[in-house]
A = this chain, B = another copy of it.
Amino acid sequence: MAGTDHSGGESGRGDGAEPVFILVAPQMGENIGATARAMWNFGLDRLRLVAPRDGWPNPRAEAMASGAAHVLDGVSVPETTLDARADLGFVFATTARDRSLTKEVMTPERAMAEARAMIAAGESVGILFGPERAGLENADIVRANAVISVPVNPAFGSLNLAQSALLLAYEWMRQGDATPPSSYVMAGAERATGIEVEKFLDHLVGRLDATGFFFPEHKRPHMVAVLENLFRRAPLTDADIRVLHGVVRALAVKVPGRK
């Protein structure tokens, strides 16, 4: 993951250039820890807990968060959702699709694009997540500026708290990520040059000529083109070319008794 370097926590180590995740009345400590891990997988570590059911700190959360402990170390625990969002300019509420309130509803993709734009402009952004069973109460959704709804299968929506946090953190990362969409790992080798591939093809075709492989003769140009196309299509390394030379030499050895 390139382009991200937020080592700071909610306690103030970071530069604030990321959304704050706010868990409202989370029930299971394990889910708080799993949410911290989900966030930190994508470099996010600003977490607030509103009225966690089992108090704070919570040993179960800490056990689950191993490796992402600093996210929990930096947690703040405001008493109410209003307190949790008091310093934030724009707050999203994550909910299943709901038609009881007049509110803008965004996909995770759009929401994180908006969040990136606002944060780039120096604004502060939070994302509210409701308790495991019931989700956010209407009062908390009313106080949010917009709703995020993940477009799940209408026949089966069962994202849990940490999964919802994972998807939002992933979307945040994805939209700022500088990882090349596709790259070739070369495993210590170099990509074969044109002349290396050409020499191998000469070697292969020469050996095949000696065996009478290209028959009838008028089909030879097409068959050579097929072979060349095959070996030009594959992304070959210099090491691959050495192996292929060896393979051709070995196959072309005159075995006693062979015609």
Tell me the A residues contacting B by CB distance below 8 Å. Answer: 1-2, 4, 37-38, 40-43, 67-68, 98-107, 109-110, 147, 150-154, 156-159, 163, 166-167, 170, 173-174, 177, 179-189, 235, 237, 239-240
Say yes or no: A158 contacts B41, CB within 8 Å: yes
Chain B residue with the shortest CB-CB distance to A1: B151
* Count of this chain's copies in the oligomeric assembly: 2
Q: How far is the CA of A101 from the CA of B188 in the complex (A)?
A: 9
Chain B residues, CB < 8 A from A159? 41
Q: How far is the CA of A105 from the CA of B105 in the complex (A)?
A: 35
Most buried by B among A98, A151, A167: A151
Tell me what chain A mostly uses at the interface: helix, strand, loop, or mixed. Answer: loop
Say yes or no: B102 contacts A187, CB within 8 Å: yes
A163 to chain B, nearest CB (A): 6
Say yes or no: A107 contacts B158, CB within 8 Å: no
A30 to chain B, nearest CB (A): 13
Say yes or no: B183 contacts A104, CB within 8 Å: yes
Say yes or no: B163 contacts A151, CB within 8 Å: no
Given contacts A102-B186, A110-B181, contact A42 B166 (CB under 8 A): no
Question: Residue A106 contacts which of B152, B158, B181 (CB distance < 8 angstroms)?
Answer: B181
Say yes or no: B105 contacts A184, CB within 8 Å: yes
Chain B residues, CB < 8 A from A37? 156, 158
> Can you offer 25 A-B residue contacts whose CB atoms are under 8 A?
A1-B154, A4-B153, A40-B153, A40-B158, A68-B156, A68-B158, A99-B185, A99-B188, A100-B187, A101-B187, A102-B185, A102-B187, A102-B240, A103-B184, A103-B185, A103-B187, A104-B182, A104-B183, A106-B181, A107-B174, A109-B181, A110-B181, A110-B182, A163-B166, A167-B170
